């Protein structure tokens, strides 16, 4: 699909005749349900009866089929979850069928149904009043299904081509039951001229990720389609504001294409509880509302999941290291200003519009309302209205990131940024806001971003847990340097001396550890760095470090990145607190090629005296969400006697000790 066409489709999805999130019902069509067409013209032949009116009646798959609530498919009754990305939870009782090769004249397929060329199918794309899709060698007219599709009209993204790649993304469709539903819309077959071994050639099947942007090679990808990536650990917090190209990326689907010259026309629709709608273009948002900056972290609820897996047991989901978190300066307009302009009236001291006199009767209690955000591809989630209208809550509709337009991976041209809250609520490619008495119906609100007790297993009662909003306190080690690595100025602090507060003071190292003065040092210098962060705008007040697995503790130095006026924006502590620590590790008694391991531990405290749990097992949940236990990094430098009379030194090598790129190296704890 060309980029312009894709853009048209994206736009169409949001401006076309159907509502964005129609009340979904995922039902098998009954034989009387279809009303639109009685005869169906074929594009390479005369009009033929449509399958629904053919003497055979509805397709055999549909005959006698039951009408089932969507809850049968997903459990928990969350309708929107039908279009969820759940590649880790494949429900595989449907497999693409292999189709026998066939001749054009007698191809062994139902002769009563027409054959269509792929070029004909392409005419029935998302902008056509009769959208079609293909699956294997079959053609389906999904016109009627679109309105009833639980995932809304995102299905139009596949129109004009094969639905197969999308069903791979939304793997919940891969069931015999959903296949039965599609079979009801079967109108014909792909012409044999367009088939290779009974199926359309691979190049004829669209890759939804084809137009994704090129990423920085320093990002380590957990998956590429969709892209989910974090930087190497020791690159993560070299800078207070994460460079845009290193900011972690968390996508559930493809990156929608919005052409640069059309960005100002990008539309945001705001729907109020009474159903009234107000539409703003991006240009209008920029012109009509005061522009604000907020410096804030975004953190995925799966950050450090891999740590939980290694210490407490198997978890489902992307195995993030410590890098599903980044910090940036966001620029945009306040959500509260836009809601007020759209006419929202709520009865509260923090109301966007304070009704006066008799108008109070119309005012709504903000505590009962939610602000639902929807992105251009299909993602959606929500926040409680009180957070949205809190004057010190700093919720932005952002178009800028670190002084540049939002990069495509981070929501170009518009996203919500909800500081202090799980990043799942900062919706990229924002196109619709609905103020509603319900949370977003999406999978990502009702299921994925929740946490449960260690005993509750993989299929808990989803409705019982609240959705994650404000994030709990966490901290992580992002760099450890030992011995020569400190002496030889290999820490990132020493490398980036232009960064304020970022330079290691070798004089201090000498004083604390005796780096240079002792001919036979009894200790080796160790430099440790990392970040700490707490949600809800709670400031980090202390970071504790242990070099012996938690037996003894010292405090790290907190870097005051916001000291210079104009370096941080916002009403609360929305950014991470970078910290660093300089200490000494006792030199091991023996030298040789043996490894001497130590466990470095970090834990943080915020201004409400919240602290991190000691173990992951105490907060274990199968989803691996909110993995916030003390962060432990085992370092195993090798002891070497260089034979120069200076005794034993720790040669740590680049892999471990000169930085810290990965976790989990085995080794004996040093005594
Ligand atoms: N918004 C849209 N439209 N689509 C998405 O897949 N992912 C969410 C959130 N907003 C997502 C989205 C999640 S789970 C996270 S953690 C953050 O975006 C990640 O934002 P980033 O990729 O800019 O770091």
Question: For residue 291, what pLDDT band results from cuts at 50, 70 and 90?
Answer: very high
The answer to whether position 449 is within a domain reads: no
Q: Do residues 418 and 544 both lie within one domain?
A: no
> 271 phi and psi, to 5 degrees?
-110, 130
- Cβ pair 505, 660 in contact under 8 A: no
Three-class DSSP category at 601: strand
- Going by C-alpha positions, the residue among 260, 245, 249, 242 that lies closest to residue 225 is 249
Q: What is the CATH number of the domain that holds 369?
A: 3.90.420.10
Q: Decide: 330 in ligand 1 pocket, CB within 6 A.
A: no
Q: Which of 166, 185, 280, 449 is catalytic?
A: 449
Q: Do residues 183 and 307 both lie within one domain?
A: no
User: Which of 439, 459, 486 is the last residue before a domain boundary?
Assistant: 439
Q: Tell me whether the omega of the peptide bond preceding residue 66 falls within 30 degrees of 0, making it cis.
A: no
pLDDT at 364: 81
Å from CA of 411 to ligand 1 middle: 8
pLDDT at 546: 96
Q: Decide: 428 in ligand 1 pocket, CB within 6 A.
A: yes
Q: Do residues 564 and 511 both lie within one domain?
A: yes
Q: Do residues 285 and 400 both lie within one domain?
A: yes
Q: Which of 40, 250, 304, 623 is catalytic?
A: 250
Q: Count other C-beta atoms under 10 Å from residue 593's C-beta.
A: 8
- Cβ pair 510, 539 in contact under 8 A: no
The answer to whether position 468 is within a domain reads: no
- Cβ pair 367, 435 in contact under 8 A: no
The answer to whether position 479 is within a domain reads: yes
Q: Do residues 294 and 189 both lie within one domain?
A: no
Tell me if residue 449 is catalytic.
yes
Q: Count other C-beta atoms under 10 Å from residue 245's C-beta.
A: 13
Mean local confidence (pLDDT), 142-166: 87
Residue 97: is its pLDDT beyond 70? no
Tell me if residue 173 is catalytic.
yes
Tell me if residue 149 is catalytic.
yes
Q: Decide: 381 in ligand 1 pocket, CB within 6 A.
A: no
User: Which of 194, 209, 241 is the last residue before a domain boundary?
Assistant: 194
Mean local confidence (pLDDT), 406-433: 98
Residue nearest to atom 24 of ligand 1 (CA): 249
pLDDT at 213: 98
Å from CA of 320 to ligand 1 middle: 14
Q: Decide: 429 in ligand 1 pocket, CB within 6 A.
A: yes
Give the least confident one: 76-90, 121-135, 455-469.
76-90
Residue 261 CA to residue 551 CA, distance in Å, equals 59
Q: What is the CATH number of the domain that holds 574?
A: 2.60.40.650
- Going by C-alpha positions, the residue among 249, 605, 264 that lies closest to residue 423 is 249
- CA 657 from centroid of its chain's CA atoms: 31
Residue 357: is its pLDDT beyond 80? no
Q: Do residues 435 and 482 both lie within one domain?
A: no
Q: What share of the chain is helix, strand, coil (3-state, %, to 5)?
A: 25, 25, 50
Q: Do residues 176 and 109 both lie within one domain?
A: yes
Å from CA of 412 to ligand 1 middle: 12
Residue 297: is its pLDDT beyond 50? yes
> 13 phi and psi, to 5 degrees?
-55, -30
Q: Structural domain of residue 161, as residue ranges?
A: 3-194
Q: Count other C-beta atoms under 10 Å from residue 236's C-beta.
A: 27
Mean local confidence (pLDDT), 245-260: 96
The answer to whether position 394 is within a domain reads: yes
pLDDT at 671: 33
Terminal Cα-to-Cα distance of the chain (whole angstroms): 62
What does the pLDDT look like over 472-518, one tens digit per residue?
A: 999 999 988 887 777 766 666 655 544 444 455 666 666 666 554 45
Å from CA of 603 to ligand 1 middle: 27
Residue 645: is its pLDDT beyond 90? no
The answer to whether position 583 is within a domain reads: yes
- Going by C-alpha positions, the residue among 159, 163, 166, 164 that lies closest to residue 122 is 159
- Cβ pair 470, 645 in contact under 8 A: no
Q: Do residues 247 and 156 both lie within one domain?
A: no
- Ligand 1 atom at minimum distance from 301 CA: 16
Residue nearest to atom 16 of ligand 1 (CA): 300
Global confidence as pTM: 0.80
Three-class DSSP category at 173: helix
- Ligand 1 atom at minimum distance from 448 CA: 14
What pairing do the DSSP bridges indicate for beta strands 638-641 and 370-375? unpaired
- Ligand 1 atom at minimum distance from 378 CA: 3
The answer to whether position 213 is within a domain reads: no
Non-local (6+) Cβ contacts of 464 within 8 A are none
> DSSP character for 409?
G
- Ligand 1 atom at minimum distance from 253 CA: 6
Three-class DSSP category at 119: helix
Q: Decide: 333 in ligand 1 pocket, CB within 6 A.
A: no
Q: Do residues 144 and 284 both lie within one domain?
A: no
Percentage of the chain modeled with pLDDT above 90: 57
Å from CA of 422 to ligand 1 middle: 10
pLDDT at 66: 25
Residue 411 CA to residue 376 CA, distance in Å, equals 9
Å from CA of 662 to ligand 1 middle: 24
Q: Do residues 172 and 228 both lie within one domain?
A: no
Residue 128 CA to residue 580 CA, distance in Å, equals 59
Q: Do residues 289 and 418 both lie within one domain?
A: yes
- Ligand 1 atom at minimum distance from 449 CA: 14
Mutate which of 13, 221, 248, 251 for ligand 1? The one with the most ligand atoms within 8 Å of its CB, which is 251
Tell me if residue 300 is catalytic.
yes
The answer to whether position 452 is within a domain reads: no
Three-class DSSP category at 377: coil
Residue nearest to atom 8 of ligand 1 (CA): 424
Q: Which of 124, 166, 199, 300 is catalytic?
A: 300
Residue nearest to atom 23 of ligand 1 (CA): 410
- Cβ pair 383, 370 in contact under 8 A: yes
Average predicted confidence (pLDDT) for the chain: 78
Q: Do residues 375 and 500 both lie within one domain?
A: no
What does the pLDDT look like over 5-20, one tens digit per residue?
A: 333 333 333 333 233 3
pLDDT at 13: 34
What does the pLDDT look like over 187-240, one tens digit per residue?
A: 999 999 999 999 998 888 888 999 999 999 999 999 999 999 999 887 899 899
User: Which of 439, 463, 493 is the last residue before a domain boundary?
Assistant: 439
Question: For residue 166, what pLDDT band results from cuts at 50, 70 and 90?
Answer: confident
**How many distinct structural domains can be found in the chain?**
3
- CA 30 from centroid of its chain's CA atoms: 38
The answer to whether position 138 is within a domain reads: yes
Residue 563: is its pLDDT beyond 60? yes
What does the pLDDT look like over 576-618, one tens digit per residue?
A: 999 999 888 876 655 444 566 788 999 999 999 999 999 999 9
What does the pLDDT look like over 108-139, one tens digit per residue?
A: 899 999 999 999 999 999 999 999 999 999 99
């Amino acid at each position: 699909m060309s980029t312009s066409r894709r853009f048209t489709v994206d736009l169409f999805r949001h401006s076309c005749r159907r509502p964005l999130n129609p009340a979904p019902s995922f039902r098998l069509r009954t034989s009387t349900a279809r009303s639109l067409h009685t005869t169906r013209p074929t594009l390479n032949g005369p009009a033929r009866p449509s399958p629904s009116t053919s003497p055979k009646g509805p397709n055999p798959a549909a005959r006698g089929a039951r009408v089932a609530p969507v809850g049968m498919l997903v459990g928990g009754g969350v309708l929107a979850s039908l279009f969820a990305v759940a590649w880790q939870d494949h429900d595989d009782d449907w497999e693409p069928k292999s189709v026998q090769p066939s001749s054009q004249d007698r191809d062994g397929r139902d002769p009563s149904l027409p054959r269509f060329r792929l070029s004909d199918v392409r005419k029935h794309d998302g902008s056509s009043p009769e959208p079609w899709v293909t699956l294997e060698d079959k053609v389906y007219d999904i016109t009627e299904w679109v309105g009833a599709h639980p995932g809304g009209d995102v299905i139009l993204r596949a129109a004009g081509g094969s639905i197969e790649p999308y069903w791979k993304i939304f793997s919940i469709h891969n069931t015999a039951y959903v296949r039965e539903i599609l079979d009801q819309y079967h109108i014909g077959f792909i012409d044999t001229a367009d088939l290779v071994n009974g199926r359309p050639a691979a190049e004829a099947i669209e890759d939804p990720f084809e137009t994704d942007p090129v990423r920085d090679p320093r990002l380590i990808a957990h998956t590429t389609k969709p892209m989910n990536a974090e930087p190497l650990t020791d690159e993560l917090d070299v800078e207070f504001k994460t460079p845009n190209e290193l900011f972690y990326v968390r996508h559930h689907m493809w990156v929608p294409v919005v052409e640069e010259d059309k960005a100002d026309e990008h539309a945001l629709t705001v729907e109020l509880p009474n159903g009234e709608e107000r539409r703003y273009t991006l240009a209008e948002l920029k012109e009509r509302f005061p522009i604000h900056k907020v410096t804030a972290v975004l953190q995925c609820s799966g950050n450090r999941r891999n740590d939980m897996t290694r210490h407490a047991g198997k978890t489902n989901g992307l195995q993030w290291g410590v890098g599903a978190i980044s910090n940036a300066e966001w620029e945009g307009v306040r959500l509260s200003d836009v809601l007020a302009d759209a006419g929202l009236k709520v009865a509260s001291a923090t109301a966007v519009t304070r009704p006066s006199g008799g108008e109070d009767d119309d005012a709504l209690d903000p505590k009962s309302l939610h602000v639902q955000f929807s992105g251009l591809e299909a993602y959606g989630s929500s926040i409680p209205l009180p957070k949205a209208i809190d004057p010190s809550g700093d919720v932005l509709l952002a178009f800028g990131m670190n002084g540049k337009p939002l990069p495509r991976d981070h929501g170009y041209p518009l996203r919500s940024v909800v500081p202090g809250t799980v990043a799942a609520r900062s919706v990229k490619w924002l196109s619709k806001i609905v103020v509603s008495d319900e949370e977003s119906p999406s999978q990502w609100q009702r299921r994925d971003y929740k946490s449960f007790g260690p005993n509750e297993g993989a299929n808990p009662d989803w409705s019982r847990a609240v959705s994650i909003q404000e994030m709990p306190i966490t901290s992580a080690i992002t760099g450890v340097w030992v011995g020569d690595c400190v002496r030889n100025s290999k820490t990132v602090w020493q490398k980036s001396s232009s960064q304020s507060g970022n330079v290691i003071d070798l004089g201090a190292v000498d004083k604390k550890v005796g780096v240079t003065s002792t001919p036979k040092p009894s200790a080796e210098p160790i430099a440790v760095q990392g970040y700490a962060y707490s949600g809800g705008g709670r400031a980090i007040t202390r970071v504790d470090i242990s070099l012996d697995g938690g037996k003894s503790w010292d405090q790290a130095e907190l870097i005051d990145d916001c000291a210079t006026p104009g370096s941080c924006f916002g009403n609360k502590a929305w950014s991470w607190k970078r910290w660093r620590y300089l200490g000494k590790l006792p030199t091991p008694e023996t030298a040789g090629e043996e490894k001497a391991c130590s466990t470095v531990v970090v834990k943080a405290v915020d201004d409400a005296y919240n602290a991190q749990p000691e173990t992951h097992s105490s907060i274990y949940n199968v989803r691996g969400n909110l993995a916030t236990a003390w962060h432990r990094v085992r370092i195993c430098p090798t002891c070497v006697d260089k034979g120069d009379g200076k005794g034993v030194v720790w040669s740590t090598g680049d892999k471990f000790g000169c930085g810290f790129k990965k976790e989990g190296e085995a080794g004996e704890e040093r005594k």
